[in-house]
Amino acid sequence: MNPLENTQAQMRKGVLEFCILSIIRQGEVYPSDILHHLKAAKLVVVEGTLYPLLTRLKNQGLLAYTWKESSSGPPRKYYSLTPEGIQFTQSLESTWKELVDAVTVTTQSSSKKS
């Protein structure tokens, strides 16, 4: 992996958790729904990475899931945010906004100089 790819991957990973929590906040979803969103946003390349992340968030108490019947197969896990998860996501959101501002200010000021 070359340095560029490495940095890009790190950037994506940094925001992945926030993105997943945000998707779940919009309503109960099951992993494939999350994957559709993430794939559309090109945040996730392979699906396998999602499951360890979901399990960890669940173990941290930010997520909960319920089993729901599906028309096309066995029951599926539907994830939703716990109250802690909602709070956590809100804090992340404000952090993200600060970060966007910070990045914008930094990049604009440096581009002006050059």
Partner 1 sequence: MNKTVTVNIGGIVFHIEEQAYAALQHYLESVRKALSGHQGADEILQDIESRMAEMFNETIKHERQVVTLAEVNSAIEVMGSPAAVAGNDNPSESYTEDTNTKSESTSAKRLFRDPDDKVISGVCSGLGHYLGVDPLWFRLFFVTIFLVAGSGLLLYILLALILPKARTTAEKLEMKGQPVNASTIRSIVEEEVRGIGEGLTRGSGKGFTGKISRFFDLLAQLVVAAAKFIFKLVIGFFTFILSVVLIALFIALLAMAGLVPVSQVPVVLSNLVLTATELNVLIIALGIVLGIPIVLLFHALIRRLFKLNALPKSVRLTALSVWIFGVLLGIFSGVGIAGHFAKVAKVTNQIPLAQPMSDTLNLASLPINEESGTYTIISEDDFSVNEDADSIYFGSVQLDIRKAKGDVFELTQSLISRGSDQKEASRNATSVRHSIEQNGDLLSIGSAFGLPKGTFYRGQKIRLVLYVPVGKSVYLDESSGSLIHDIQNVSNTLDEDMPGRVWTMTPQGLTCIGCSLPEDDDEGDPVQIRINGVDIHSDSIEQHIDTLKAQDLQINIKGKKIDVNTGN
Please say which residue, 44 or 112, places its beta carbon nearer to partner 1: 44
Beta strand pairing call for 63-70 and 73-81? antiparallel
- Reading the block at residue 107, the tokens are 């990049």
Shortest distance in whole angstroms from residue 48 CB to partner 1: 4
Q: What span, in angstroms and rounded, lies between the C-alpha atoms of 36 and 48?
A: 13
Q: What span, in angstroms and rounded, lies between the C-alpha atoms of 20 and 43?
A: 10
Please say which residue, 7 or 108, places its beta carbon nearer to partner 1: 7
Please say which residue, 51 or 105, places its beta carbon nearer to partner 1: 51
CB contact set of 109 (below 8 Å; sequence gap of 6+): none
Shortest distance in whole angstroms from residue 77 CB to partner 1: 7
Shortest distance in whole angstroms from residue 74 CB to partner 1: 4
Please say which residue, 54 or 86, places its beta carbon nearer to partner 1: 54
Residues that bind partner 1 (CB under 8 A): 1, 6, 9-10, 13-14, 31-32, 45-49, 51-56, 58-59, 72-77
CB contact set of 33 (below 8 Å; sequence gap of 6+): 23
